[in-house]
Structure 1
Amino acid sequence: MRTFFVTHLHPKCLKGFYTLFLSLLVINVHHAIAQTSFPAPVILSSAKAAALITDNVRQEFKMSYPIYRVYQYADQSGQYYCVLTESRNTVTEHDTINQRIKAVNLKMVDGKFTKTWELNDNFTPEVNEESSIWFWTKYVEFLDYDHDGLVDPIIIYGTRGSNGYDDGRAKILIYYRGQKVAIRHQNGVLDDERSTQVDAAFYNLPASIQAAVRQKMEQMVKNQHAIFPNGWQTAMRNKKTAFDEAQ
């Protein structure tokens, strides 16, 4: 039996093979970058945080509240530090009362910090009937959920009302490729007091990020930190941007 080899290809075929080769090369390079291993996010000790976030840095980025926690994380775009600050208006043996919070996300570039984003929230006790606001770090994470080589920070915080968590509010913030996406929720003792608003952009996020957020919402319910409206899972599957007990 004879074996035949193709020794000549038509120019159009060569062009097709060349295009296919380049496409596969780009895909493989992108895959390799996305799979690059980066150090796991860490929480800096108080001493390390103080040495890094100096008074000059705090002044430059207008961080006037005491630092509660500093997260360090890295991805293919660089090294980052997320600084969580809380006002600590009253500190007792059993509790800390905050009326204002601020988070600043800093990127280290050539030995200097640049701000990539920040968040602020506050309340007035006489107006909002809330007693404190703070970061719910149990749910805060800095992970690359969609494996594209970029960390997708999820920040969650909330307030305490006159009935504790039962009538406070909660906010979930997702930072994805420079875009801030929010889910805002109001707890309530009575059914008709509960409501949730979801940014329409949430439903355009990668499925893995949406699933991670829904899982955190389930944890918030389990831990009695949130009472979402009945049927909220179905509402989110149907991509609703607002839902409450009346709907």
Structure 2
Amino acid sequence: MYKKSSENMKKYILILLSFYSSFIFSQKAESHRLNKQEISERELENTTNFPIYRAFEFSDKSGVYELVLGENQKVISKKDTLNTKIQAVCVINDHGGLLDQWKINDLLEDTLPKETNIWFWTKYCSTKDIDGDGYIEPIIVYGTRNEDGYIRRVKIITVYKKKKYVIRAIECDFDNCRSFEKDQNWNTLPQKIKLYVNQLTEKMRKEQDVLLKNG
């Protein structure tokens, strides 16, 4: 009787484990932008050093994540809000606690003409499962503008398996001061992700009148 009960318990546990495993591995990769109330409910205000400009929640096979984009809003006027520093923070929601996964920090560079603003280009940022593996690959895009009103720097950062793959571009009227560089590890990304970022880059060229090229 005891042996039979023990065997039934083992079967029950195996069924539960199988169900849990199926649930985890069939979980869809999903993402949505958080509103102010949701930001407050998730207690995200202290995850970044700066005021929150945008926040997103995304979930995939590895868990539920919060992505917070902060800008320091150094100069605020009716006409413009100018930033000297930005910070992106990704945390995992672990049983009610928030654990840091990765961060991106940047600030204005001392250049001529002088850089006066740095901002997240959220129109081109994304939190999608690009290659269909069940995990989301965040893409963070930001730029800087100089005192003449022209875009100077653009960065496109792809986060794949918690590693950053960066494209750095400097816009300039002259060939010798213009650049467009991909990290050395760029070609290790899956082909679908590289294709997506290349298409994103082309879209930015067309919509923003930026060159994003060498020389």
User: Fold-level match, TM-score > 0.5?
Assistant: yes
Contact conserved, 1:165 with 1:225, CA < 8 A, in 2? no
- The equivalent residue for 1:199 is 183
TM-score normalised to structure 1 length: 0.73
Contact conserved, 1:152 with 1:175, CA < 8 A, in 2? yes
- The equivalent residue for 1:8 is none
Sequence identity percentage: 32
For residue 197 of structure 2, give the secondary structure of its aligned residue in structure 1: helix
TM-score normalised to structure 2 length: 0.83
RMSD: 2.2
Instruction: Give, as a single letter, the amino acid of the residue that structure 1 aligns with 2:128.
Output: L
Contact conserved, 1:125 with 1:131, CA < 8 A, in 2? no
Distance 1:105 1:52 in 2: 13
Matched, 1:103 2:93: no
Instruction: Give, as a single letter, the amino acid of the residue that structure 2 aligns with 1:90.
Output: V
Instruction: Give, as a single letter, the amino acid of the residue that structure 1 aligns with 2:83.
Output: N
Matched, 1:215 2:199: yes
- The equivalent residue for 1:119 is 104
For residue 121 of structure 1, give the secondary structure of its aligned residue in structure 2: strand
List 4+ stretches of structure 1 deviating above 3 A.
124-128
Q: How much has 1:37 moved relative to structure 2?
A: 4.6
Q: Which whole-Å deviations, capped at 9, do the CAs of 1:133-177 have from their partners, x for residues lacking one? A: 0100001111111111110111000100133344x1000111101
Q: May I ask how many residue pairs the two structures share in their alignment?
A: 194
Q: Which runs of 5+ in 2 are unaligned?
A: 1-20
For residue 102 of structure 2, give the secondary structure of its aligned residue in structure 1: strand
Q: Are the structure 2 counterparts of residues 50 and 221 from structure 1 closer, same or farther at C-alpha, using a change threshold of 3 Å?
A: same
Contact conserved, 1:181 with 1:201, CA < 8 A, in 2? yes
Q: How much has 1:125 moved relative to structure 2?
A: 5.5
Q: Which runs of 5+ in 1 are unaligned?
A: 1-28, 230-243
Say which structure is richer in strand.
2
2:74 to 54, 69, 89: 89
Contact conserved, 2:56 with 2:68, CA < 8 A, in 1? yes
